[in-house]
Amino acid sequence: MLDRIKASIPALPPAEQRVAKLLLTDPRAFATLPVVELAERSHVSKPTVVRFCRSVGYDGLADFKRKLAGSVNEGVPFVHRAVDEDDKTSDIVVKVIDNAVSALLKYRNDAASHAFERAIAALTETGKSGKRIEFYGVGNSGIVAQDAQHKFFRLGVNAAAVSDGHVQVMSATMLAPGDCAVIISNSGRSRDLVDVAEIARRKGATLIVVTASGSPLAQMAQGGANQILLAVDHPEDYDRYSPMVSRLLHLMVIDILTTAVALRLPGELRPMLQEIKKNLRAKRYARPE
């Protein structure tokens, strides 16, 4: 909300720009002060304060202050950044989908193709040589790790997903040069995963990290020949919001890796995948005659 208002300042009349600057200086105070004091501090009239609220897309001062309080108060339990308590179901559908589509398109433009190329090459080589590919994650990221293992083991490679902290340490300790440790983390600050990354590096395995730029995990995956960072940045605050967009982005990264590795593995893979599909059909209910 504040980012959008800041970007709109050049298009506002000079008097409303003063209101916007007061808002950005202290959003919490703006959400609680009466209109008279807001007008005095901005050196504008009371109607100008109301006009500003409408210019930036709200029904009036009361609506604006309610939404502002929701954006700046840490104690408000949000489910999603763009969703408000008074939204209709149709609004929620549109907002959640729009946020997801926007994040996916932004990542398409921001993704570092050279980092993906290195990760794909390492995973392909590990798969061809019969070495181990271990996926590590905790919480929601552990679910993404399980999805990655499900996709990769169908390629005929030695893949596993580990989400228990103690088992992660044991698994990482058994890694060796030529193995790949793929660590998935929204925040990049989970102690268990940082420990696993350090063990994997010491054991000489290739470290591939899917996490936010600048995090401790991201820093561990930069600078080495066997260290690869697939940075995934998004607008969700991992301390306040239930992971929605971030989880979708991580799943998409796994899909990219799976697709590219499948295309680079030996040609005899395809008959095996066809046989898997054939055998799975027997698990479905027969179609009615």
Burial of 47 (0-12, 13-18, 19+ CB in 10 A): exposed
For residue 84, is it within any domain? no
For residue 87, is it within any domain? no
For residue 242, is it within any domain? yes
> Same structural domain for residues 124 and 179?
yes
Distance from C-alpha of 278 to C-alpha of 280, rounded to nearest angstrom: 5
In 9-139, which residue ranges form alpha helices assigned H by DSSP? 14-25, 27-32, 35-42, 46-55, 61-72, 89-110, 113-129
Contacts for 92 with CB less than 8 Å, ≥ 6 apart: 83
For residue 186, is it within any domain? yes
Q: What is the pLDDT of residue 268?
A: 64
**CATH code where residue 177 lies:** 3.40.50.10490
For residue 139, is it within any domain? yes
**CATH code where residue 72 lies:** 1.10.10.10
> Same structural domain for residues 130 and 177?
yes
> Same structural domain for residues 141 and 67?
no
Q: What is the pLDDT of residue 273?
A: 73
Amino acid at 106: K
Q: Tens-of-pLDDT digits for all 289 residues of the chain?
A: 787 788 788 888 999 999 999 998 888 888 888 999 999 999 999 999 999 988 887 878 888 888 787 666 543 333 445 677 788 888 888 888 888 888 888 888 778 888 999 999 999 999 999 999 999 999 989 999 999 999 999 888 999 999 999 999 999 999 999 999 999 999 899 999 999 999 999 999 999 999 988 889 998 988 778 999 999 987 666 555 566 788 899 999 999 999 999 999 877 666 777 777 788 877 777 665 5
Q: How many domains does one find in the chain? A: 2
> Same structural domain for residues 116 and 71?
no
Q: What is the pLDDT of residue 289?
A: 52
For residue 106, is it within any domain? no
Q: What is the pLDDT of residue 246?
A: 86
> Same structural domain for residues 70 and 146?
no
Q: What is the pLDDT of residue 71?
A: 67
> Same structural domain for residues 212 and 116?
yes
Residues in the chain: 289
Q: What is the pLDDT of residue 261?
A: 94
Domain boundary among 27, 50, 76: 76
Contacts for 159 with CB less than 8 Å, ≥ 6 apart: 132, 133, 134, 135, 148, 149, 152, 153
> Same structural domain for residues 115 and 57?
no
For residue 89, is it within any domain? no
Q: What is the pLDDT of residue 156?
A: 86
Residue 100 near residue 249, CB atoms below 8 Å: no
Q: What is the pLDDT of residue 79?
A: 45
Q: What is the pLDDT of residue 198?
A: 95
Which DSSP category does 12 fall into?
A: S
Residues of the domain holding 32: 2-76
Distance from C-alpha of 57 to C-alpha of 12, rounded to nearest angstrom: 12
Give the number of other Cβ atoms within 10 Å of residue 33's Cβ. Answer: 17
For residue 275, is it within any domain? yes
Alpha carbon 98 to its chain centroid, in Å, reads 15
Q: What is the pLDDT of residue 95?
A: 80
Distance from C-alpha of 143 to C-alpha of 153, rounded to nearest angstrom: 16
> Same structural domain for residues 131 and 212?
yes
> Same structural domain for residues 140 and 235?
yes
* Residue whose pair of structure tokens reads 């919480």 in the numeric block: 139
> Same structural domain for residues 124 and 193?
yes
> Same structural domain for residues 229 and 118?
yes
> Same structural domain for residues 65 and 182?
no
